[in-house]
Amino acid sequence: MHIAAHERIIRPARNVFGSLRLPGDKSISHRYAMLGGLAEGTSRFTKFSTGADCASTLACMEALGAKVNRISENSVEITGVGGRVTPANHPLDCGNSGSTMRMISGLLAPQEGSFTLIGDASLSRRPMERVRKPLEAMGARLTLTDGHAPLAIVGGTLRPIDFTTPVPSAQVKTCVLLAGLQTDGTTTVRESVRTRDHSELALRAFGAKFTRTVDSVSIAGPQALHSIDGDVPGDISSAAFFLCAAALFPGSGLVLDSLGLNPTRATLLDVLTALGAHISVLNIEEKNAELVGTVQVSAPAEGLGSTEVSGPLAAQLIDELPVLAAIAPYTSGGIRIRDAGELRVKESDRIALVVKNLRAMGGEVAEFEDGVDVPGGQTLHGATIDSGGDHRIAMAFSVAALRAEGETLIQGAESAAISFPEFFDLLDLVAER
């Protein structure tokens, strides 16, 4: 078979076994890059994300006047602008990264000047109205095309707001908090589901003060940030592919160390436990307010059971749902996913691609507007997978391919580099053939 540069063959595995250290968390790296770029002084980060998305954030901060020094592949030094960015005389390219575009828009709206944010074809289709609304309510001017990027911002002095996010979104929450940080008065963000709180923890590490309730964060601006040194925890959403792979093979054993275990991100461990996987967490410590530890996983002898992900769980697990759906046919009772309509506006329509690719592998699946029903007890065969250029789809179906009959061809496999360039090499290390 002819394999193109952007394709990858995945052969079935007999087992998944070994010990890995995952690259630094993408969400945390974005925030460290933005806050380090805005702060006064030089911040140093080790185990910084190696993904292309965080490189987009670093490049934007550099274009805005921060000094970025890549010391090695995963360590970076950032000298911040001390509160005032320099408007770039060209559009800021956010690449494939929704986090970059949505969060930087909040950082820029209170700054004097005009800024244009652009992205690739996928990012240019994603909804940006959700950041335009609060920032305009604060007094910035934002222009979109049909609700999408390019996003033009005319920034300046803003007024504080009390804002309730229309959909659970840590990116939107962060956007408003970054604007509030630089605005006179108290800005409050309220959310119906507690989304990942890396921004709150990072803001605190960089010296900002705010108050929190169960469902809100209030920040009194303006506040200055100081630099920090930090070790970025391993990315649990990248680990998800390996945790799910190990959960599929009775006799498996996988140890992942220095993994981020922030409770707003670690829901997958509960879901895998509910499915019957054996999980233990060791050596927990705190780094810049983020929890880090070692996770051991092995599969139950009788195989995985069944589960449902809906309500608040769907928002908390949003990045892990593609791989959960991709392994669902190998469970005994299947997996039901609902309240996950946001999956349709990620880097791709992840519900449509999960359905298409499970069917390509001979799987049975029912599609809903906000989720899927995947029955258990199925046997899948190798197939050609359309990743749609979406990193999480490419990796999710690489995991499904480990238990399929015959080889699977992943099209658009290079997209894994958006969050996890090391993925295929690490998969080869632990997949026993």
Binding site for ligand S3P (CB under 6 A): 27, 30, 99, 169-171, 196, 318-319, 342
The backbone torsions φ and ψ at residue 420, rounded to the nearest 5 degrees and listed phi first, read -155, 70
Q: Which of 154, 153, 210, 160 is nearest to 182 (CA)?
A: 160
Closest distance of CB 176 from ligand S3P, Å: 12
Rounded CA gap, 294 and 260, in Å? 9
319: annotated active-site residue: yes
Among 53, 93, 197, 319, the active-site one is 319
| 61 vs 318, beta carbon nearer ligand S3P | 318
Q: DSSP strand E in 222-312: where?
A: 229-231, 253-260, 278-287, 290-298, 306-309
| 169 vs 258, beta carbon nearer ligand S3P | 169
Q: Looking at the DSSP assignment, which residues form a beta bridge with residue 73?
A: none
Token pair of 309 as six digits: 């992900």
Q: What is the helix (H) or strand (E) element at residue 430, kind and residue range?
A: helix 423-430
| 99 vs 294, beta carbon nearer ligand S3P | 99
Closest distance of CB 379 from ligand S3P, Å: 31
| 169 vs 294, beta carbon nearer ligand S3P | 169
Residues comprising the chain, all counted: 433
User: What contacts 110, CB < 8 A, 6 or more positions away?
Assistant: 138, 140, 155, 156, 157, 158, 179, 182, 183
Q: What is the helix (H) or strand (E) element at residue 432, kind and residue range?
A: strand 431-432
| 99 vs 331, beta carbon nearer ligand S3P | 99
Closest distance of CB 27 from ligand S3P, Å: 3
Q: Which amino acid is at 22?
A: L
Q: DSSP strand E in 299-418: where?
A: 306-309, 334-337, 366-368, 371-374, 384-386, 408-411
Closest distance of CB 318 from ligand S3P, Å: 5
Closest distance of CB 407 from ligand S3P, Å: 30
Active site residues: 319
